Amino acid sequence: MPDERAIRRIEELLADITRLGGQSERTSIVPNLTVVDDTPAGLTNFITVEDDRDGDTILAQKVPGVIYAIGDKVNVLFIEGTEPTAYQQGSQSSGSPVAVSKLVSPDLTIDPVLSADNNGEVTAVNGVSADNFAFIVENTSGAAATANDVGFIDSAGEYQTTTTANDSVAWCVVIIGGANNADIYVSRRGRATVAYTGSAPAKGDFLVTSTTAGDASAQTTMRPEIFAIALAAGSGGTVSALLLTGRETKPFFSANNTLFISGASTSDFVSDIAAAGVVGDKIYYNAPSSGNINAITPVSTAELGKIIIHNTTQTDEAKIIATGTDGTGDFIQVSAAGDISAWIATDVIVTRSQTNTSTGVSSSRFFDIEITSELPELTTQIKLWVSWRDTGGVDERLITHPFAANSNPKRETIISVSTARNYQGLQLQPLIQSRFVVSWESSGAGTANPLFRIYETVIASP
């Protein structure tokens, strides 16, 4: 007789197989169907996909948090009794403006900026990218913020604009704009497109704030308030730039002084070019009408800083490296013969600054000092080690000031305290065109001894 128990077991196994087969037929996943319409008319929550095997088109539901574009490949889930669901992308089309994966908040709000492509690389939209490190702030400037605008972050952590030229603020550039009191994306690092006013920046020009809100202006020389450098020539009111909003302090070491004048009179020198004129890199001069040659005679030609001599007749200038006397007469030697090749006899020559034209102390005048060697690129400020002594008296003053029109609050004053001991101290000095200005008074002819060395540099950084 048949084994009833064995028959029942076989029947149960057949029933299990039947059940499994039925579930498979009711639920399936078809990979890599092509999106042919990502916004079907009247069907906001659907896309149309095409089965590449037979050409059939199918409506499939969208899933919150997934971005769809025509040409993308999607994996579609089929469950009996429900609409097909395009639940994930299989691959992104070459022309798709969106990425495979988006960052999505817990409430399924899609991040408007960050995403990742098929290779896992972070990308972005709307101008934000890994190149510009954008972040969100509230725009409380009182007006709409537009992409590429220049502004700053205030003490409340909010976006503002400025109409002050060369403003020293926490600069930023708008990446994605918005209305007043709306959240916007700004950047303080990396590369960005920057709006400008005035002359178009050339590649390598520096950018500073301007008197037009939201716009930068270009300049060719460094100063403490630069916030970017142009990576290409500007055109149509915008320029591609590398943001330089950071500042790094670096120690500085050199075998050379920045400037040392030993045995100087009060800082001033006014003369005219003698009949011998200019020979090579030498300017022959007549007896000074004001000041003394010892006030502009550096101890060494290798000093990093050079006193500027101005030809006020021709509105020209050169850099002094030495003074002396030879068979032709008294001369001033400059760093480049080409700088003085057009200078002629009777031209008036002075070392008085043409930028800070005020007097320093008593009859002293400011000298322009330009640092011409060893200064790191993108240096905005220097910390100077200053040694000051007058061998003939005390209470004699040495003053430094930025290379700009005089402002008494910007003066740094050092007072001599002993005829036998040097005053020594540190001071932070902004550099504009690699220059600062200095003046001093002496108690007598050849008693002043100003000495400057660079101790640290402050460098603009990305």
Cβ 281 vs Cβ 258: under 8 Å: no
Q: Which helix (H) or strand (E) holds 393?
A: none
Sequence-distant (6+) residues with CB within 8 A of 263 are: 294, 446, 447, 448, 449
Q: How far apart are CA 402 and CA 431, in angstroms?
A: 7
Q: How far is it, in rounded angstroms, from Cα 438 to Cα 401?
A: 6
Across 340-352, b (16+ Cβ under 10 Å) vs e yields beebeeebebbbb
Same domain, residue pair 139 and 184: yes
Rg (CA), the chain: 36
Please count the residues of the chain. 462
Residues 334 and 269 in one domain: yes
Whether the CB-CB separation of 89 and 105 falls below 8 Å is answered with no
Residues 225 and 269 in one domain: no
**111 and 161 together in one domain:** no
The predicted pLDDT at position 7 comes to 43
Alpha carbon separation from 396 to 320, 423, 445 (Å, rounded): 25, 11, 13
11, part of any domain: no
At residue 92, the pLDDT reads 54
Residue 71 DSSP SS3: coil
In a domain, 125, yes or no: no
- Is 249 contained in some domain? no
Going by C-beta distance under 8 Å and a sequence separation of 6 or more, which residues neighbour residue 103? 110, 111, 114, 115
C-alpha span between 133 and 186 (Å, rounded):
8
pLDDT of residue 1: 43
Do 227 and 269 fall into the same domain? Answer: no
In a domain? residue 14: no
351 falls within a domain: yes
Helix (H) / strand (E) element for 355: namely none
Q: In the numeric block, which tokens belong to residue 42?
A: 């009247």
- Residue 250's pLDDT is 96
Q: Does residue 127 sit within a domain?
A: no
Q: For 198-213, give one letter per residue: b (16+ CB within 10 A) or e.
A: eeebeeebbbbbbebb
Is residue 306 located within the same domain as residue 430?
yes
- In contact, 356 and 363? CB cutoff 8 Å: no
For residues 389 and 446, membership in a common domain is answered with yes
**Residue pair 391/295 in contact by the 8 Å Cβ criterion:** no
Amino acid symbol at 326: D
**Residues 279, 239 share a domain:** no
Instruction: Note down pLDDT in tens along the chain; length 462 residues.
Output: 445 554 455 456 545 544 544 444 566 788 888 999 988 988 888 999 998 778 888 899 888 767 788 888 888 888 777 888 887 666 555 555 444 444 444 454 555 555 555 454 545 555 556 566 889 999 999 999 999 999 999 999 999 999 999 999 999 999 999 999 999 999 999 999 999 999 999 999 999 999 999 999 999 999 999 999 999 999 999 999 999 999 999 999 999 999 999 999 999 999 999 999 999 999 999 999 999 999 999 999 999 999 999 999 999 999 999 999 999 999 999 999 999 999 999 999 999 999 999 998 888 999 999 999 999 999 999 999 999 999 999 999 999 999 999 999 999 999 998 998 899 999 999 999 999 999 999 999 999 999 999 999 999 999
Domain boundary, last residue among 89, 119, 149: 119
* Residue where a domain terminates, one of 86, 119, 152: 119
pLDDT at site 85: 84
Name the E strands within 198-237.
206-209, 216-219, 228-230
The answer to whether the CB of 422 falls within 8 A of the CB of 449 is yes
Domain C-terminal end among 68, 88, 119: 119
346 with 297, same domain: the answer is yes
Query: How far does Cα 275 stand from its chain's mean position?
Result: 49
326 and 433 share a domain?
A: yes
Q: Is residue 234 part of a domain?
A: yes
The first and second tokens of residue 447, run together, are: 């008693």
56 and 165 both lie in a single domain: no
Amino acid identity, residue 299? V
Number of domains in the chain: 3
Within a domain: 126: no
Provide DSSP, 160-184.
Answer: E----TT--S-EEEEEE-B-TTSEE
Same domain flag for 102 and 74: yes
Token pair 């890599």 in the structure block, residue: 32
**53: Cβ contacts below 8 Å, ≥ 6 apart:** none
DSSP structural state of residue 61: E
Q: Domain residues for 149?
A: 135-244
CA distances from 110 to 5, 60, 63, 113, 174 (A): 59, 20, 12, 9, 21
